[in-house]
Chain A
Amino acid sequence: MTAIAPQPMPRAEPAAVFAVPRMFRPRVQRAVFATAMTAPMALWQLALFLGPLLFLVGLSFWLVRNFQLVPAFEWVNWERMLTQPHFWTTFARTLSYAAGAAALASALAFPAAYAMAFVLNGNQRRLATFLLVIPFFTSYLVRVYAWQAFLSDQGLINSALGLAGIGPLPMLNTPFGTFVGYLTLSLPLVVLIQSMALAMVDRHHVEAAHNLGCGPLAAVFKVVIPSARAGLVIAALFCFILSFGDFVSPMYLGGGKAPTLAMLIIDTTKAGQQWPRAAVVSIAMIATLMTVAFAAVAYAYRRR
């Protein structure tokens, strides 16, 4: 008779995991981990984006009587705002200004970002990054007011031009002024995002292009830009979003002569407490931004 060696008792395992076949356990754990990690973000979005958005949609159907909001379900605000020609004029202007700012900022930022990614050494790159962050230490409104001292007819730029017998050139209270403001707001950010995207471009691809006879400029357009496409598009998207909703630049540097949707919201609420009509404008802005953002992200990450 052979003595039977004692068998080790099976280890007790948590019930939930026990029920899952062994081969699937890592996948389940990963899913639980992923859920736990993304939950705060989802809750944040729910509380601070989806909730207010639903409220905004509801508000757009309310009425204003005697300067007070009255809950209702009426289409009158939508009808009133969307049938006004000035709403569509303002919408088209805001869209074209934001798109123009995104294109301009991308073009102006690219040489600086390229230099940061490919030309500067580590210390110089850190210094350049620091310099790009510094403008954010000061309020955007203060920076815009400071521009008035440069751009006015009696400002520093026109005074300097006057010494050469030029001008005064109209800069303040013009679309040019508005674009100066948009770039003040977004250009440093665009440079930073672009430089990060360019820094991730595989140098071997660039060298291979050069070895295959590609000139420096052609390499930029055929290798560098396509490789960094996602980052470049996201940088432009940031500029678009910031410019699309900006109130300060069109008001204080554009002189309010070419109203944008953000200014239309102010006008709508300033007189008569028309928050429901302002909600209609806001929803139009959010819908536009989401459409543009989804399209841009889809383009940025599409397969080549």
Chain B
Amino acid sequence: MAQRSNSAASRRRFLQQGASLGALAFPMLATSSLANTRPTELTMLAWQGHAEKDVVEEFEALNKVRIRPKYYVGGDNMLALISQSPPGTYDVILSDAEYVQQLVAGQWVEKLDAKDYPFDDFFPEFQKFPGHWQGSDLYSVFLRFGFLGVAYNTQAVSEKEARSYKVYFDPKYKGRVGHFDWHLPNIGQVSLLAGNRQPFDLDAARWAEVQQRMAGLRPSIGGFFDYGGTFSSLRNGQMVLMAGIGDWITGVLEKNGAPVRSVIPEEGGLQWTESLSIGRGSRRRELARSFIQYMSSPAGQVRSARMAAYPAMVPNRKAWELLARTDPAEARRSNMLLNERNAIDDIRAGRITPRAQPVRQDLQDWVDVWSRYKNA
């Protein structure tokens, strides 16, 4: 009897312990199962908008991956974030061309194999873009670009007037000319107006002349605006001209019905570019490569061109063809129609200069000049 009792107790105990173990194991099994179904994450350091659904939805679905972005504002901000993070924090890094060399110098990006990417489909101008390569080594793949010119309110300023940077000095618009608050594009535009074909490569005399021109412009200026302020001041009509920007801002406003546009003036325009690199120490290098391959393919390029946050032009010729078929209105608006005069023609005509860091002066000299200019 006692033996039977012991046996029963033992069975009960076994069942109890088994149930306990099962209860303990279930969450682990469930977690493990969830982990198997949870999509892989690909981290990306980028400007605002590049990891939103309108751009990456298709890639995420195809690859069962989720893009986890860390957004930055400006190349300096990007360099600060990278330099403060351990290697491998970011699988993909989006950068403006003038900062790619800093990424290479800081050893923050991996060398890429050019054969992995569809450079043959790119317009020749973008196949070996300066800054993305060091000798024969590729570090960044050209993703998109845009022009910076004169942004104007179409109800207040005629396109003919906006075709020259001189419009900024017109007394009619005194107090209604704004600056996007970043020294590089604004000084670059004044430099173009001063007749410098290489607006960022200035000797002492030309640099002094640019500063003199800026001093003459200052009384016309109604404000210095960040990204949000630029949007609102153009939208509410407070500013009718804006220096230092282009279609990347006016395109968004125009799509939403605001009477604003950008044109490339006769003195020439500046070009901004964005490209993709693989972060040093990335643990998902293959996936990062697939992402860059997708974004440089016609499908990815069209999504990038139509990005809701800010539109752009793209370097892939096949993407232009695809955009013309799927969204001809946007292809026309963004100057990307192969059978008409287009953005590439502007580049080939020598009207566009890539935005760059100052060549002969220290960057801080330009920053100080900009601060003095704002205080004048």
Tell me the A residues contacting B by CB distance below 8 Å: 66-69, 80, 84-86, 89-90, 145, 148-149, 152-155, 170, 172-173, 251-252, 255-257, 259, 264, 267-274
Question: How many A-B contacts are there with CB distance less than 8 Å?
Answer: 101
Q: From DSSP, what is the main secondary structure of chain B's interface residues?
A: helix
> For A257, what are the chain B residues with a Cβ–Cβ distance below 8 Å?
221-224, 374
- Asked if A67 meets B79 with Cβ closer than 8 Å, knowing A84-B368, A154-B236, A271-B363, the reply is yes
Q: How far is the CA of A193 from the CA of B74 in the complex (A)?
A: 41
Question: Whose C-beta in chain B lies nearest to the C-beta of A254?
Answer: B223
**In angstroms, how far is the closest chain B Cβ from the Cβ of A171?**
10
> For A268, what are the chain B residues with a Cβ–Cβ distance below 8 Å?
367, 371
User: Is B76 among interface residues, defined by CB-CB distance under 8 A?
Assistant: yes
- Asked if A85 meets B372 with Cβ closer than 8 Å, knowing A154-B236, A256-B229, A273-B79, the reply is yes
Question: Whose C-beta in chain B lies nearest to the C-beta of A263?
Answer: B374
Q: Could you list some 30 contacts between A and B, CB below 8 A? A: A66-B106, A67-B76, A67-B102, A68-B83, A84-B368, A84-B372, A86-B372, A86-B374, A145-B232, A148-B236, A152-B238, A173-B222, A173-B233, A251-B229, A255-B224, A256-B181, A256-B374, A259-B375, A267-B181, A267-B371, A270-B74, A270-B182, A271-B76, A271-B183, A271-B366, A271-B367, A272-B367, A273-B76, A273-B79, A273-B80
Residue in contact with B371 in the complex, picked from A86, A155, A251, CB distance below 8 Å: A86
> For A84, what are the chain B residues with a Cβ–Cβ distance below 8 Å?
368, 371-372
- Say whether B175 contacts A170, CB under 8 Å: yes
Question: Whose C-beta in chain B lies nearest to the C-beta of A177?
Answer: B223
- Say whether A267 contacts B367, CB under 8 Å: yes
- Asked if A148 meets B232 with Cβ closer than 8 Å, knowing A251-B226, A267-B371, the reply is yes
Question: Whose C-beta in chain A lies nearest to the C-beta of B184?
Answer: A271
User: Is B370 among interface residues, defined by CB-CB distance under 8 A?
Assistant: yes
Q: How far is the CA of A220 from the CA of B12 in the complex (A)?
A: 86
> For A264, what are the chain B residues with a Cβ–Cβ distance below 8 Å?
371
- Say whether A66 contacts B105, CB under 8 Å: yes
> For B238, what are the chain A residues with a Cβ–Cβ distance below 8 Å?
152-154, 172-173
**In angstroms, how far is the closest chain A Cβ from the Cβ of B65?**
30
8 A Cβ contacts from B323-376 to A: 363-364, 366-368, 370-372, 374-375
Question: Whose C-beta in chain B lies nearest to the C-beta of A268?
Answer: B367
> For B106, what are the chain A residues with a Cβ–Cβ distance below 8 Å?
66-68
Nearest 10 interchain pairs by C-beta: A255-B223, A256-B224, A86-B375, A173-B223, A67-B79, A271-B367, A86-B372, A272-B363, A152-B236, A89-B375
Q: How far is the CA of A267 from the CA of B105 in the complex (A)?
A: 24
Question: Whose C-beta in chain B lies nearest to the C-beta of A271?
Answer: B367
Q: How far is the CA of A85 from the CA of B372 in the complex (A)?
A: 8
**In angstroms, how far is the closest chain A Cβ from the Cβ of B248?**
18
Question: Whose C-beta in chain A lies nearest to the C-beta of B369?
Answer: A86
The CB with the most chain B CB atoms within 10 A, among A66, A153, A255, A259, is that of A255
User: Is B310 among interface residues, defined by CB-CB distance under 8 A?
Assistant: no
Q: How far is the CA of A170 from the CA of B174 in the complex (A)?
A: 13
Q: How far is the CA of A152 from the CA of B222 in the complex (A)?
A: 12
> For A86, what are the chain B residues with a Cβ–Cβ distance below 8 Å?
368, 371-372, 374-375
> For B374, what are the chain A residues with a Cβ–Cβ distance below 8 Å?
86, 256-257, 259, 267
> For B225, what are the chain A residues with a Cβ–Cβ distance below 8 Å?
255-256
